[in-house]
Each structure stands twice: as C-alpha cells, then as structure tokens.
Amino acid sequence: MHSTKTLTMKKLFRPYLTAFLLGALLISTSSCGDDDDPDPIKEEENITSMTLTLEPVATDKGIQTATATFTAGSKPTLSLVPNTQYNATITFNDKIEDEIRTEAEDHELFFDAPENVLVVQKILPDDFDNNDRPVGLQTRMLSGNTGSTGSLKITLKHQPGLKTDESDVTIGETDIEATFTVNVQ
C-alpha cells in the first residue's frame, strides 16, 4: 500500500516538477532581450563656460572693453588699463545667468583677487536680489597700477536657504569656480 502510493505520487508529480523547473529556467534565460542600447544623456542646465566682460565706466577715454571666457581647465587672460573703473558683467553658456537671476536669493558670486591688481565691489543696485543682497552678476571693478599681475578667482555658490548677510564663499555648493589671469598694462 505504502509503496504503491509513493509510486503513483512520483508518476503524477514528476511531470509537474519537471515542467516547473524547466519553465522557470526558460523564463530566466528567455527574457534576455538584447536589443536596447543606451541613449545619450541630455545634458541640460550644465554650466560649461563663464564669460567676464569689463566695460569702462567712462566711455569717452577710448578705453577698450576687456572680455575673456573661462572653460574647464583653462586660465584666460584679461588685459586691463591701469587705475580704471569698469562695469563688469558675468554671463554663462545658454543664458544660465537668467536662471541665476530668477533664483537670485539662492545664489551669489564671490571674487578673490590681490587688491593691488583688482578691487571688486558688489555695489550696483541692479545686481541686488529681493532681500537686498548682491548677486555678483554685475559689479564695479577697479584696476591697479601698471605692471601688476595676478589671479582673479570667481566662485558661483548655490546657497539655497543659506544666503544671509553673513554667508560667504565657504557656504553652500560651488556651481562653478573660474580663474582668470589679470594683466594691468
């Protein structure tokens, strides 16, 4: 009795188990469609370059506008006339400066240069955000004496909820760090 029972069970059960095993194996191997390739990533909103344009405040002296564009790994040179006031404007690729202007309360540009080469003043009212904090897209720059040379580092910080009167270059996330060589001739 017992042995026949076992035998019958085996007979009946074996096909199901086999089908189950094979079926699962089949699925695990047949689902290997290999026809899709990766699509290129759409690189939106990435900053790739920063252009600094210095226009002399006094337009009657025949002083040239200085401009230079920074990209990753480069160190472009700005040639300035000594002891001159400039209106400096910063733009980016793909008009990203408009986005920064829209989110002005969360962004600020910081400038670092030897004082004898260049003095940067974030004082232009047009540049201020709704909280009366400067953004740095438009600044006043004063060049030093003839023959002075140095590096100007410009850092754009994203400071969401962190931009206050005390927030400086150490706060927030760096979106771009650009370096220019400034030659005063």
Partner 1 sequence: MLKLEDVLKTKTLFLTLALLAWQAPALRAQSLPGPVPEDAEQDCGLTLSGKVLDHDTREPLIGATIYLPELDRATMSDEYGNYHFHQVCRGAYTLQVKYVGYEEEQFAVRLSASLARDLPLHADARLLRTVEVTGEHLRAQAQTQQSISGRELEQTRGLALAETLKGIAGVTTLQTGPTISKPVIHGLHSNRVLLLNNGVRQEGQQWGAEHAPEIDPFIASEMKVIKGAAGVRYGADAIGGVVLVEPKALPTTPGVRGEVYLLGSTNNRQMATSATVEGNFEKLPPLSWRLQGTLRKAGNAKTPDYYLENTGLREQNFSAALGYDKETYGAELFYSRFSTELGVLRESHIGNVQDLMYAIERGRPSNAGNAEFTYAIDRPYQDVQHDLFKAKGFWQLGEAGKLEFVYGWQRNLRQEYDMRRRVSQAPTLQLTLNTHTTEVTFEHKPLGNVTGLVGISTIYQKNTYRYSDFLPYFTGTTAGIFATETWKKDRLQLEAGLRYDYKHLQVKKLENNRELIKPEYAFNNFSGTLAAMYDVGYHLTFGLSATSAWRAPGANELFSEGVHHSAATYESGNPDLKSEQAYNLEFSVDYFSNPRLNGTLSLYHNYIRDYIYLAPQPEPVLTIRGAFPAFAYTQADATLSGVDLSWDFKLATGLVLDSKTSLLYARNLDTNDYLIYMPANRFDNSLRYEFSSGDGGKLTDAYLSVGGVYVARQNRAPEKTEQDFAPAPEGYFLLQAEAGTTIHLGKQPIEVGITGNNLLNTVYRDYLNKQRYYADELGRMLLLRVRVPFDFSNSKK
Residues 165/157, Cβ–Cβ less than 8 Å: no
Q: Could you say which of 88, 176, 182, 184 contacts partner 1 (CB under 8 A)?
A: 176
If the CB atoms of residues 40 and 147 are measured against partner 1, the closer one turns out to be 40
If the CB atoms of residues 21 and 58 are measured against partner 1, the closer one turns out to be 21
**Residue 116 interacting with partner 1 (CB under 8 A):** no
Which residues neighbour 179 within 8 Å (Cβ) at sequence distance 6 or greater? 70, 75, 151, 152, 153, 154
The two tokens of residue 43 are 């690189």
Work out the number of other CB atoms within 10 angstroms of the CB of residue 32.
6
**Residue 112 interacting with partner 1 (CB under 8 A):** no
Residue window 64-93: x/- pattern of binding to partner 1, with contact defined by CB under 8 A: -------xxx--------------------
**Residue 9 interacting with partner 1 (CB under 8 A):** yes
| H or E element at residue 15 | helix 2-30
Choose the binding region for partner 1 from 40-48, 61-69, 77-85, 117-125 (rule: CB under 8 A): 40-48
Work out the number of other CB atoms within 10 angstroms of the CB of residue 63.
17
**Residue 27 interacting with partner 1 (CB under 8 A):** yes
| H or E element at residue 55 | strand 49-56
Q: What is the dihedral of CA 53, 59, 63, 69, to 10 degrees?
A: 10
Strands 173-184 and 77-80: parallel
**Residue 35 interacting with partner 1 (CB under 8 A):** no
**Residue 28 interacting with partner 1 (CB under 8 A):** yes
Query: Minimum distance from CB of 113 to partner 1 (Å)?
Result: 16
Query: Minimum distance from CB of 87 to partner 1 (Å)?
Result: 25
Q: Find how far residue 185's CA is from the centre of its chain.
A: 32
User: Which stretches of the chain bind partner 1, using CB under 8 A?
Assistant: 5-6, 8-9, 12-13, 16-17, 19-21, 23-25, 27-29, 31-32, 34, 36-38, 40-41, 43-49, 71-73, 96, 99-100, 103, 155, 157-158, 160-162, 167, 169-177
